[in-house]
Amino acid sequence: MKAGIFSLAVLLMGSCAAAAQSLPVGKAGPDEKLQACVMMGVGFWALPGSDTCLRVSGEVRADYVLQHQPSRNDDATGFFTRAQVGFDARTNTDYGLLRSYFLLDAYVGPGQTTSFVVDKAYLQIGGLTAGYAHSYFGIYDLDYANDLLQPYFGYAATTNLLAYTLEFGNGLSATLSIEDARGTHSSLFDTFGFPSNVVSSGGSVVPDIVGNLRYDADWGEASVFAAAHQIRYPAPSKPLGGSDYGYAFGGALGLNIPVLSGGHIVAEGTYANGASSYLGWQQLDAAFDRFNDRTDLGNGWTATGEFGLNLTPALTVNLLGSYLDYSAASVDTRIFVPQAPDIQGWVAGGNAVYAVTRGLSFGAEAYYSSYRGKGGQGFFAFEEEQKGWTGVLRVRRTF
């Protein structure tokens, strides 16, 4: 693999050298110099010979994790590195600003395992957004979420979508988005399943429909949002080829605190019925009994909050907390019939980030999490709880 990459690099350098030898020697003309696109924002530069402005950005970060060790076979320490590069290209057209955005992540995890992930890849013009972008369900994860690695119960998905945003003026806007349902499909609970009661759902037919109404102002922002989600039962369950439809809705409020530098407080809450992915913690969306033609949907709610401020121009502190309560679907109450588990969970913690110099920061985070599952009945009853502290140290360079 390394030899192949080296050969490719040599070939490219040779091609570039040959091309450079054929070019005339001289200074670039006035029209060929790289010029800043002030109207597009900081960091944008006009591409020579083009009316497109491009901004290249990125980061490299290293995370060091120390966490509670449930058993001797679990790792108490972890080392994670991420490199990220983004390209934001913008062009003014007769139909409004045309934008294309591409963000690529490279991860190196424990044991030097590596992976490359497309983080974002979408285009926008006018109110249209098409491609691989952050879901329009909720605002907390996209606009706030000032965590290092602390988990929270909030929808944080990037998905393939087609959306249109209508601006009413004075900060009020509405978005209707058609989003890939395969990312929100959960497994289902088959009461008489074998060898496992957890089975895959049927294939996707109807995409998720997501709506978002939001208001942005100097004091902060507010939003309400909702989603509709199809659940398809696998054959040969009854109703054969049948479907149920789940939904989720929520609201969020973010406030700027003018008396504190960089101060803010935000809260977001979500309720879901048969659409647990929108709670930020996917569970079994539905249960079915193929013999008596009964089905049921699981439901639950989450709440997430954050308080942050800048203690000094270089030191930022954030406190976060989140809670989940989920009641699993149930189609039978007989003592010998197993049931899916109910889930309760919460997490609370905070972090401090210190900017050493422009583009370089050190962050430290600590949080406590608790997850409790309780389910079954009679011979199948069980209860399980996982809890403990986690500490994180991050070194981050952005450009």
What is residue 70's predicted lDDT score, i.e. its pLDDT? 72
**Rounded Cα–Cα distance for residues 307 and 351 (Å):** 11
As a whole number, mean pLDDT of residues 274-300 equals 89
Going through 155-242 in order, the beta strands assigned E by DSSP cover: 158-169, 172-179, 188-190, 198-199, 208-217, 220-232
What is residue 197's predicted lDDT score, i.e. its pLDDT? 83
As a whole number, mean pLDDT of residues 370-375 equals 88
What is residue 9's predicted lDDT score, i.e. its pLDDT? 33
pLDDT band with cut points at 50, 70 and 90 for residue 378: low
How does pLDDT run across 214-254, given as a tens digit for each residue? Answer: 999 999 999 999 999 999 988 765 444 578 999 999 999 99
pLDDT band with cut points at 50, 70 and 90 for residue 14: very low
Q: How far is CA 78 from CA 110, 111, 113, 365, 397, in A?
A: 6, 9, 12, 14, 20
Residue found by looking up tokens 């929108």 in the block: 278
As a whole number, mean pLDDT of residues 54-79 equals 89
What is residue 32's predicted lDDT score, i.e. its pLDDT? 57
pLDDT band with cut points at 50, 70 and 90 for residue 330: confident
pLDDT band with cut points at 50, 70 and 90 for residue 377: low
Task: Evaluate if pTM is beyond 0.75.
Answer: yes
What is residue 13's predicted lDDT score, i.e. its pLDDT? 34
What is residue 236's predicted lDDT score, i.e. its pLDDT? 60
How does pLDDT run across 19-41, given as a tens digit for each residue? Answer: 333 333 334 444 456 788 888 88
Residue found by looking up tokens 């973010």 in the block: 254
How does pLDDT run across 188-210, given as a tens digit for each residue? Answer: 988 877 777 888 888 888 999 99
The single-letter DSSP state of residue 234 is P
For the record, the structure tokens of 279 come out as 């709670």
**Rounded Cα–Cα distance for residues 57 and 268 (Å):** 30
Q: 3-class SS at 107? A: strand
pLDDT band with cut points at 50, 70 and 90 for residue 337: low
Point out the least confidently predicted range of 70-74, 145-149, 350-354.
70-74
Q: Is the pLDDT of residue 5 over 60?
A: no
Q: 281 with 302: CB under 8 angstroms?
A: yes
Q: Is the pLDDT of residue 118 over 70?
A: yes
What is residue 69's predicted lDDT score, i.e. its pLDDT? 76
Q: Is the pLDDT of residue 110 over 90?
A: no
| Antiparallel, parallel or unpaired: β 188-190 and 286-289 | parallel
Which residues on adjacent β-strands are paired with residue 109? none
Point out the least confidently predicted range of 23-27, 53-57, 138-142, 336-340.
23-27
What is residue 12's predicted lDDT score, i.e. its pLDDT? 33
Q: 341 with 373: CB under 8 angstroms?
A: yes
What is residue 230's predicted lDDT score, i.e. its pLDDT? 95
What is residue 334's predicted lDDT score, i.e. its pLDDT? 64
Q: 186 with 283: CB under 8 angstroms?
A: yes
As a whole number, mean pLDDT of residues 286-303 equals 88
- Alpha helix locations (H) across the chain? 2-21, 140-143
Highest mean pLDDT among 24-33, 258-267, 314-323 belongs to 314-323
